[in-house]
Amino acid sequence: MEFFKKVPTLHFMRPRRRWYTVSATLVLATVVSLVWRGLHLSIDFTGGVEVEVGFSQPANLDAVRQTLIAHGFSDPQVQIVDTVRDVLVRLPPQGETVTGAEVGNRIKAALSAIDPAVQLRRADSVGSQVGRELANNGALALLFTFLLIGLYVSVRFHTYRLGVGATVAAMHNPIVVVGFFSVTGLTFDLPALAAVLAVIGHSLNDTVVVFDRIRENFEKSRRATPMDLIDAAINQTLSRTVITSGATFVVVLMLFLFGGEALRGFSVALLVGIVVVTYSSIYVASALALDLGLTGNDLFPVRKSADELDRMP
Amino acid sequence: MTDFPRWRYWLVGTLTLLGLLLALPNVFGEDPALQIALTGRDKPPCTATCVTAVETLLRSKGVAFLRTSVKNGELLVRFPSHVEQLKARDVVKDQPEYNHALTSAPRTPAWMQWLGLKPMKLGLDLRGGSYLVYQVDIDGAIKQLQGTLEQDLRRSLREAKIEYTDIAPLASVGAGGEALKITLRNGADLDKARELVAKVNPKLEIREDTNPAAPAITARVTEDMARERADYAIDQNLTTLRNRINELGVSEPLIQRQGRDRIVVQLPGVDDPADAKRILGSTATLEFRLVDEINDPLEAQRRGVAPLGSKLYVRRDNGGPILLKREVIATGDQLVDASYELRQEGPAVNVKLDSRGGRRMAETTRANLGHRMAVVYVEKLRETKMVDGKPVDVDRTKEDVISDATIQGLFSNNFQITGLSQTEAPELAKLLRAGALAAPLYLVEERTIGPSLGEDNIRRGVDAMIYGMLTIFTFMAIYYRVFGWVANLVLLSNVVLLTALLSVINAVLTLPGIGGIVLTVGMAVDANILIYERIREEVRNGVSPRAAIDKGFERAFTAIADSNVTTLIAGVVLWAFGSGPVRGFAVVLTLGILTSLFTAIIGSRVVIHLIYTRRRDIGRLSI
């Protein structure tokens, strides 16, 4: 079976202005949403208390909230997780030092008025200082990943035209993922951050394959216009791009569907990430390289034998 | 055929078999178990009588268990379910002669255990347990250092007969901060005093003030001293925490320093850490002081000021005031052993002092026969109070006199302390035995995962993995036919190799780690697809099948290597910055890339070679 019996001859580069607009809009929307709506950070980053309880019957959220307020918990957020019997209770930070299990046991005691068989499944309590530090470390990790990948790219593609294209694509992707969390109001937790870092790493996966092909095409033909060569490269790798992204998307989708609440943020970040990565490797990275004036001379400033090129890192 | 080196078969064959063997222990799963040890002073090993006693006990309470075994003097009881495990825990909890810990025991067959084959360790999010992060109060440790210095200085000055009007801490100035100002009576003593201060601690930074009205010496704790003290405090606290956890009898605990001033404690199987936290974070210790019998404590309480050289305390038994001498005879950290004993007059703690403490105790009691000595129970607490609607942390030191008695004879280094409650006495004995904390600890993060959630997490992770792999396998088989089956075989062996690697390096599998395995499967498909698409393309261009295979592998290689390097970079950064579950993900991601490179580039080549290129006539490729 084959999706593309013949190598397709789609024109990717001609309408690139339109895709620039799409990307710019996505990034802008992210910034606006971050300023306006913010990002719903989990207690990993903000500090606070999260307690998960399991009822023996489907839970009544209103009753849970009322009971908690009646027992002196201020501003509890209650939501259903995984099954209708499991309820997650969130409380604002209680200070630098924490008393997680005590709060957990108090909540359990309070809720046993509704259901005597209520079970404490999980009690997390993070001090606000620890949360702030983790947020800072996370930002630092993002920065380091960008730096290292930028460094790799500039060494790898001898020309800045490809380098800039790849790096902009790599930065564009996590921004859109974070934007998705901001717009939908999904909780951004520590595993989600790990997934975003993986997305940055994965960003160049597709881009590198396309760029590799672009280089090969330039090597084969020095007559055709750069635009045609780039289009050809994307078309030649299209089948692989679609299948790979599809396969990765499907496994992560299973993670999203069956992995439970704890992996929700992680899998959503990856799902959105995979879509954006595929899109940006086709439309952002190559198009930018083209607009930066990529020619065969950039790739082969001094003629080298194909043998030598193969041995390059 | 000639250009295909034979060693590749051997390499792939050997590694796959080895991988299978190493990954095998993970198939068996784990039983919920209870680890039981005998309490008592010398921790006697659990013998046949103890095994029968526990078995009979569990049977009598109707708890079903699978089997029992003894390892390193500890009894391990396996249960068919978590419900039975928790029932057994509640039964054993009420028996003071047993220490117990929830754990899980691998079902790996004996011959595998004999070979040293072990399954992957499960993280707390998969097996349940408590994760505690403590902050070490470094400032407190440095203040403590200053307190000790002050005492030493007072004593040395008095012994050298240098008269001083005051020793007081200076307001913190500059780095290192803490400084003591010693105001002397006579300016003539300045030189002698300076030498003395230098002798007490040669690292102190000494400054003189020759003002005749108030000749003084300032001794400052330098930055180096402060740092040394901080490192010492953390090391000491790590040791103390280890000892305390041993007293608690938790199975496979993990205690690690994290960053500058944090300590992480992981207690697998502890689903209600209240007891553990009370013991771990406790700063409770003892101080022995002489009673000030000259001044009137009631008078001091009324005026709110203690006379010079004394300090006002509250008695625990009747809440009344008592005046004690400022000088400490011995403190809790000079204890070498402590044990709890229930005596006729009430709960008591037998203590044994080290040689220094013992000598001072003997000297003091000899010089003060017929006078009174008191035992002070000291505990530092940090409480969160609501001030103007905001939580504020307040430090408080709880000090009260638990007993005071007339010194009847010479105290050696062995004696008893009474005046404690029945819960306090055994806990204090444990604490004293484990050693005192060199600096107070405050809990800044706590995560507790119940066993049921851990079990659910494993099931969910494994489900997602199975469904994900089935979908991919089906697709690959349809889309690439024979080559698709090769890819599936390769993907499967990738998971096997990854599992083997994770088991060998003792990596901890977490829920994000399982997510990482799933993601790795998805990404590992890529390398195969790159190769196959390249082969198809070559075939389309009219290249002969054999050449197409060779070219496909060759040409796809750079793209495969390149596209994985950046993910590798992200994995390494994640590993460096992350902790706990996220680090588990980073390890899986990084190793997964390595194994998938090996399996896709070398492994699949070998399989395809076996199927096709060995034949003289290849015919059409099933791709």
**Total structural domains in chain B?**
4
The answer on B593 and B503 residing in a single domain is yes
Domain check: are A108 and A135 in the same one? no
Q: Could you tell me if residue A198 is inside a domain? A: yes
The reported pLDDT for the residue numbered A35 is 94
Q: Provide the residue range defining the domain that includes A158.
A: 16-40+131-310
B242 lies in a domain? no
Percent of chain B clearing pLDDT 70 (strictly above): 94
**Per residue in B46-93, pLDDT tens?**
888 888 888 999 999 888 899 888 887 888 999 998 788 888 888 887
Q: Is A105 near chain B, with CB under 8 Å?
A: yes
Residue A107 within a domain: yes
CB B374 within 8 A of CB B289: yes
For residues B160 and B60, state if they share a domain: no
pLDDT at B260 over 50: yes
Distance (Å, whole) CA B488 – CA B493: 9
- Above 70 in pLDDT, residue B38? yes
* pLDDT digits 0-9 by tens, A68-86: 888 888 788 898 887 788 8
Residue A245 lies in a domain: yes
| Structure tokens belonging to residue B21 | 């063997």
B14 and B34 both lie in a single domain: no
Q: Answer with the residue of higher pLDDT: A100 or B563.
A: B563
Whether residue A172 is found in the same domain as residue A276: yes
Q: Does residue A2 fall inside a structural domain? A: no
Question: What is the per-residue pLDDT across A265-278, written as a single tens digit (0 to 9) for each?
Answer: 999 999 999 999 99
In angstroms, the separation between the Cα of residue B101 and the nearest Cα of chain A is 18
pLDDT band at B359 (very low <50, low <70, confident <90, very high): confident
Which of A124, A240, A250 faces B468 most closely, judged by CB atoms? A250
Does the CA dihedral B39-B41-B46-B48 come out positive or negative?
Answer: negative
Nearest-neighbour CA in chain B from A191: distance (Å): 6
Q: Would you state the pLDDT for residue B1? A: 44
CATH number at residue B61: 3.30.70.260
Angle, to 10 degrees, between the axis of helix A190-220 and the axis of helix B511-540?
10
| B572 and B532 co-located in one domain | yes
Task: Classify residue B204: in a domain, yes or no.
Answer: yes
Contact B579, B258 (CB under 8 A): yes
Higher pLDDT, B348 or A246: A246
Assign residue A2 a region (left: φ > 0; alpha: ψ between -120 and 50; beta: otherwise). Answer: beta
Give the residue on B whose Cα is nearest the Cα of A86: B453
In a domain, B166, yes or no: yes
pLDDT > 90 fraction of chain A, expressed in percent and rounded: 25
Asked if residue A140 belongs to a domain, the reply is yes
Residue A101, pLDDT above cutoff 70: no
* Per-residue pLDDT, B175: 45
B596 contacts B527 by C-beta, under 8 angstroms: yes
Amino acid B197: pLDDT: 84
Per-residue confidence band for B489, with pLDDT thresholds at 50, 70 and 90: very high
Q: B20 and B36 share a domain?
A: no
Task: Please identify, among B425, B440, B474, the residue that sits at the C-terminal boundary of a domain.
Answer: B425
Q: Is residue B469 part of a domain?
A: yes
Domain containing B465 — which CATH number?
1.20.1640.10
Residues B486, B361: one domain? no
Mean pLDDT, chain A, rounded, equals 85
pLDDT value at residue A96: 56
Question: What rounded mean pLDDT belongs to chain B?
Answer: 83
Give per-residue pLDDT as tens, B163-217: 888 887 776 554 446 788 888 888 788 888 888 888 878 888 888 887 777 788 8
**Domain C-terminal end among A110, A126, A142:** A126
Are A23 and A136 in the same domain? yes
Q: Does a structural domain hold residue B622?
A: no
Domain end (from A126, A148, A172): A126
* Most confident region among A1-5, A140-144, B328-332 by mean pLDDT: A140-144
Domain co-membership, A246 together with A119:
no
- Token code pair at residue A264: 């929700």
What percent of chain B lies above the pLDDT cut of 90?
12
Check whether residue A208 and residue A93 sit in a common domain: no
Indicate if B20 and B142 belong to the same structural domain. Answer: no
CATH for A226: 1.20.1640.10
- Spatial distance between the Cα atoms of A65 and A71, rounded to a whole number of angstroms: 10
Q: Are residues B183 and B291 in the same domain?
A: no
Q: Which residue has the higher pLDDT, B500 or B228?
A: B500
Same domain, B21 and B34: no
Is pLDDT larger for residue B109 or for residue B247? B109
Confidence band for A98, pLDDT divided at 50, 70 and 90: low
Q: If contacts are CB pairs under 8 Å, which of residues 160-199 in chain A contact chain B? A: 170, 190-191, 193-194, 197-198
Same domain, A84 and A157: no
CATH number of the domain residue B319 falls in: 3.30.1360
3-state SS string for chain A: CCCCCCCCCCCCCCCHHHHHHHHHHHHHHHHHHHHHCCCCECHHHHCEEEEEEECCCCCCHHHHHHHHHHCCCCCCEEEEECCCCEEEEEECCCCCCCCHHHHHHHHHHHHCCCCCCCEEEEEEEECHHHHHHHHHHHHHHHHHHHHHHHHHHHHHCCCHHHHHHHHHHHHHHHHHHHHHHHHHCCCECHHHHHHHHHHHHHHHHHHHHHHHHHHHHHHHCCCCCHHHHHHHHHHHHHHHHHHHHHHHHHHHHHHHHHCCHHHHHHHHHHHHHHHHHHHHHHHHHHHHHHHCCCCHHHHCCCCCCHHHHHCCC
Of A120, A138, A208, the CB nearest to B559: A208
Burial class (CB in 10 A: 0-12, 13-18, 19+), B7: exposed
Q: Distance between CA atoms of B264 and B132, rounded to whole angstroms?
A: 6
CA angle A146, A151, A153 (to 5 degrees): 95
Q: B162 with B197: CB under 8 angstroms? A: no
Q: Is the pLDDT score of B2 beyond 50?
A: no
**Which of B357-366 are b and which e, b meaning 16 or more Cβ less than 10 Å from the residue's Cβ?**
bbebbeebbe
- Facing B444 at nearest CB: one of A96, A252, A270: A96
B581-604: pLDDT as tens digits: 788 889 999 999 999 989 988 888
| Domain contains A203 | yes
A137–B contact, CB cutoff 8 A: yes
Mind listing the pLDDT tens digit for each residue in A39-67? 999 988 988 888 999 898 888 889 899 99
The token duo for A260 is: 């439970």
Residue after which a domain boundary falls, among B408, B425, B442: B425
Residues B81 and B51 occupy one common structural domain = yes
Higher pLDDT pick, A221 / B235 = B235
B328 CA to chain A: closest CA distance, Å?
Answer: 31
Non-local CB neighbours of A191 within 8 Å, separated by 6+ positions: A262, A263, A265, A266, B511, B512, B515, B581, B582, B585
Q: Which strand (E) or helix (H) includes residue B287?
A: strand B285-291
Q: The complex's ipTM?
A: 0.86
Residue A157 lies in a domain: yes
Residues B221 and B76 in one domain: no
Q: What is the CATH number of the domain that holds A54?
A: 3.30.70.3400
Confidence of residue A289 (pLDDT cuts 50, 70, 90): confident
What residues make up the domain containing B217? 138-225
The verdict on B494 and B467 lying in the same domain is yes
Place of tokens 């957020």: A77
Tokens of B246: 């041993």
* pLDDT at residue number B43: 67
The confidence score (pLDDT) of residue A30 equals: 95
Instruction: State how far the alpha carbon of B94 is from the alpha carbons of B28, B89, B97, B98, B283, in Å.
Output: 33, 9, 9, 9, 27
- Tell whether B279 is within 8 A of chain A (Cβ): no
pLDDT of residue B96: 72
Tally of structural domains, chain A: 2
Which is nearest to A103 in space by CA: A32, A180, A48, A166? A48
**B180: contact with A, CB 8 A cutoff:** no
| A4 close contact with B: CB closer than 8 A | no
Q: Does residue B444 belong to any structural domain of this protein?
A: no
Q: Kindly state whether residues A31 and A160 are assigned to the same domain.
A: yes
Q: Is residue A153 part of a domain?
A: yes
Q: How far apart are CA B237 and CA B436, in angstroms?
A: 8
- Do residue A258 and residue A223 come from a single domain? yes
- For the record, the structure tokens of B40 come out as 């008592």
